[in-house]
Each structure stands twice: as C-alpha cells, then as structure tokens.
Amino acid sequence: MTILDGKKTSEQIKQEIADEVTKIKSEGGKIPHLAAVLVGKDGASQTYVNSKVKDCEQVGFGSTLVQLDENTGEQELLDSVQEINDNPDIDGIIVQLPLPDQISVQKVTEIIRPEKDVDGFHPVNVGRMVKGLPAYIAATPFGIMQLLERYQVETSGKNCVIIGRSDIVGTPMSILMARKANPGNCTVTLCHSRTKDIKAHTLEADIVIAALGRPGFLTGEMVKDGVVVIDVGITRVPDSTRKRGYALKGDVDFDSVSPKCSHITPVPGGVGPMTRAALLWNTLQAAKNSFYHSVATTE
C-alpha cells in the first residue's frame, strides 16, 4: 500500500516553483504576485488566507492582502476587485469564500478577469476546462490530478467513483477524470445525496474520490481490494486532547479502508497541502501568461 504523500509532493512542487522564481529574478523578469481579498473576520477564512500569503513568501512571490470590513457593500467589493484587475503588477486574484450575505458570490466571481482567476471559479475557466482548453483549474481538483500524475497512478480505462457533486471539487473532478488525457480516460460515476446505493457503486470502483464532507463516511466494506482512494474531506471534529480543540477528519475511515488500498491519501497531509501548492502553480502560470497568451497567439 502506497501513501500518496501530499505534504512531500507539495513541497517538491513548491521547490520547483521557487526555483523558477529564482530564475525569473535572475533574468529580471516579472515576479509573480497574488492578491487575496478577505471580507470580515471568519476564523477559518483568516487562517486560509494567511496560509496562502505565507505560501507566497515561501516560494518568492509577492502578495497583497486586502482586508475589508464585515459590512462591506457589494459595490465596494466589486470596485476593489476591479482595481486589482486593472493593476498590472498583480497576476492572480482570489476572493476568500464564504462572503457575507449582502454580497453576490456570482457577481464577484464573474468580475474577476479570467486571466487573473487563479482559483479557476470564473465560468470562462470552468467552460474552458470542460472543453479541454488551457485554463486555470480549481486548486483542489488540480492538486488531486498532480498527485495521481506524480505517483503515476494508472487511470486509463479504470472505474472511478466520485462521491459529492460540489462546484469546486466533485463536479470538476468528474470532468477531469473522464476526459481524454492522462490522468483521465476513466469511466466516471458521480454519486451524491440522491444516489440510492453508494456502496453498490464504490464496490465496483478502481478509484474512489470522496468529497462529500462527512467524516469517516467511506469504510472498508465499501471498497474492493487494490482500490485507489483519494480523501478530499477535511472536517474539524472536536478533540479536547488537542491544544487547538479539534482534529481534522477525512471522509475516509482510514483504519478500515487503507488495508485494502493500492494507494491512499492521508488526512491531514494528503489533498490539503496539494491544494495550497496548486494555487501557487496557477499564480505562476498567471505571471507567465501561460493560458490566455498562448490562445491569443498560437492555435
């Protein structure tokens, strides 16, 4: 059984990015710069945004943190994003979700320029991904694809069952795993809350991607021997033995599932760190104008 070590792999990716930044610097090129916008004081959101800024420092990127008050109006936020859109020094923009109720997530997502949308949430990037065109792919799906690729997990012709149909994980994963590419070429089944018998599907799966957000949902008797299991869940479960008062639990019951696996991601240290590295990778591509530049001049 091979542990798909997201911590180690993400460190490798970050090292590769840092090396590229060093090279860019030595050639007098444009240093990648990420702007993160945070509205309000939600604890988890602050933690996430701070990590992203720290990651930027680690690889040598510039970063700008825009902190707005909880009561920020929609137009004020849209104006703020527009200003970053127009700032040529900033390559990538993320607006940390969730947003307060007075603000339309859709409007904010759509005002970000697709060329700077390193979260890959803009419809243009989603649509381009579906069509197999160069695009920013959302960090979690991209991180999972990187993990499969770097561990050379065989996917072609395999049955892949995805549990959870969210916009940012399950649905894009179903598209990426089905498409004609490597990794990819799977026969993909997308399960969700309306699926009648999830176990009937997971028992036939060569690859299971659990992204429903229910701690310990996938258990050993739901999978077959030799399965590849990707655990996207990271639920905070109260744990008084820990200083911070909670433990991170995945959607997979590791103890019963892992003995049957050929490959499995742990939680923590699996998909989570890959997601963070993916955002940096997208930001590097933004600085290099990899996706939208190439479309305009080649093809």
Binding residues for its own copies (CB under 8 A)? 104, 106-107, 110, 122-128, 130-133, 156-157, 165, 167, 171-172, 174-175, 178-180, 185-192, 194-196, 201, 295, 299
In the chain, the amino acid numbered 103 is: I
Specify the residue, 144 or 205, whose C-beta has the smaller distance to its own copies: 205
Specify the residue, 36 or 175, whose C-beta has the smaller distance to its own copies: 175
* Least distance between its own copies and beta carbon 299 (Å): 5
Virtual CA dihedral for 271, 272, 277, 279, nearest 10 degrees? 110
**Among candidate residues 168, 31, 162, the one with its CA nearest the CA of residue 98:** 168
Let me know if 119 is a catalytic residue: yes
Q: Which of 5, 55, 96, 253 is catalytic?
A: 96
Specify the residue, 152 or 193, whose C-beta has the smaller distance to its own copies: 193
**Among candidate residues 63, 60, 62, 55, the one with its CA nearest the CA of residue 23:** 60
Contact by Cβ (8 Å): 238, 219: no
Strands in the chain per DSSP E: 2-3, 33-39, 62-68, 92-95, 159-163, 187-191, 207-210, 227-231, 235-238, 246-249, 261-264
Specify the residue, 113 or 192, whose C-beta has the smaller distance to its own copies: 192
How far is residue 64's CA from residue 81's CA, in Å, rounded to a whole number? 12
Cβ atoms < 10 Å from Cβ of 279:
26
* Least distance between its own copies and beta carbon 110 (Å): 8
* Least distance between its own copies and beta carbon 5 (Å): 28
Collapse the DSSP code of 265 into the 3-class scheme (helix H, G, I; strand E, B; otherwise coil) and give the result.
coil
Strands in 139-202 per DSSP E: 159-163, 187-191
The values of phi and psi at residue 50, to 5°, are -60, -40
* Least distance between its own copies and beta carbon 226 (Å): 15
Specify the residue, 17 or 227, whose C-beta has the smaller distance to its own copies: 227
Specify the residue, 107 or 150, whose C-beta has the smaller distance to its own copies: 107
Q: Which of 14, 52, 116, 249 is catalytic?
A: 52
Let me know if 96 is a catalytic residue: yes
* Least distance between its own copies and beta carbon 291 (Å): 12
H/E stretch holding 51 reads helix 43-59
- What are the angstrom distances between the C-alpha of 267 and each of 46, 62, 90, 274? 21, 30, 33, 12
* Least distance between its own copies and beta carbon 223 (Å): 17
Q: Which of 5, 55, 117, 119 is catalytic?
A: 119
The upper half-sphere exposure of residue 244, i.e. CA atoms within 13 Å in the direction of its Cβ, equals 8
Let me know if 52 is a catalytic residue: yes
Catalytic residue annotation: 52, 96, 119
